[in-house]
């Protein structure tokens, strides 16, 4: 993955976005299968960056089908639907696929739940958001299983009263907002 990341970074410094997309597409055709998975994720992101959101969907769907234990692709699909295609209901269906995989594999459970929290916030579903926050707080994170740190942007953006008060109080203890944070996306832990 790092090798592909560096290669794409080099391309981005040398070529316009359309050229990077073409180069990644061509390498996807000729690269080994391990590279193709990483390239597919970059390719989908590049298409979204270029405003070609709908073209990214078949790539994500293909990788979701090929890699039944990989969470990157369903999380990316949910994010695409939420932020770019402005379809939070479809984003919710997509993140549920990621959560099923996360429960099965143990990987990136907190990240998938964080995406679900953002979707539920967008939909204004406070009771479900409260339940997701409870689930985030109950997770036991192990250092050897990949996941992300504690996040709170979805809590900070929630209008007053959307999240149950008791859950909000516990979440504020679980992931306190640091007074020096200008970007309150994460907290210690």
Residue 15 lies in a domain: yes
Residue 104 has a pLDDT of: 93
Residue 154 lies in a domain: no
23 versus 34: the higher-pLDDT residue is: 23
What is the mean predicted confidence (pLDDT) over 47-65?
95
Residue 47 lies in a domain: yes
Return mean pLDDT, the chain: 91
Residue 38 has a pLDDT of: 87
Residue whose structure tokens are 């539920």: 120
What pLDDT, in 10s, does the model give residues 157-169? 999 999 999 999 9
In 148-163, which positions are buried (b, 16+ CB within 10 angstroms) versus exposed (e)? Answer: eebbbebbeebeeebb
- In the chain, the number of structural domains is 1
Residue 177 lies in a domain: no
Residue 81 lies in a domain: no
Residue 38 lies in a domain: yes
What is the mean predicted confidence (pLDDT) over 113-128?
97
User: Can you spell out the DSSP letters for 85-136?
Assistant: S--HHHHHHHHHHHHHHHHHH-TTHHHHHHHHHHHHHHHT-HHHHHHHHHHH
Q: Which domain holds residue 4?
A: 1-67
Residue 127 lies in a domain: no
Residue 50 lies in a domain: yes
Residue 157 has a pLDDT of: 96
């Amino acid at each position: 993955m790092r090798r592909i990341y560096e290669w794409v970074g080099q391309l981005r410094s040398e070529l316009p976005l359309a050229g990077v997309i073409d180069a990644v597409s061509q390498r996807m055709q000729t690269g080994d299968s391990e590279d193709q998975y990483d390239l597919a994720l970059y390719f989908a992101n590049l298409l979204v960056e270029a405003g070609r959101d709908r073209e990214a969907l078949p790539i994500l769907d293909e990788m979701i089908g090929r890699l039944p234990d990989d969470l990157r692709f369903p999380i990316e699909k949910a994010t695409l639907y939420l932020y770019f295609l402005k379809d939070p209901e479809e984003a919710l269906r997509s993140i549920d696929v990621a959560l099923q995989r996360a429960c099965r594999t143990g990987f990136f459970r907190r990240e998938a739940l964080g995406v679900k929290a953002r979707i539920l916030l967008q939909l204004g579903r406070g009771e479900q958001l409260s339940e997701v926050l409870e689930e985030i707080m109950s997770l036991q994170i192990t250092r050897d299983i990949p996941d992300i740190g504690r996040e709170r942007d979805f809590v900070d953006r929630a209008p007053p009263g959307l999240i149950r008060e008791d859950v909000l109080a516990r979440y504020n203890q679980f992931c306190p907002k640091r007074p020096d944070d200008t970007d309150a996306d994460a907290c210690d832990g």
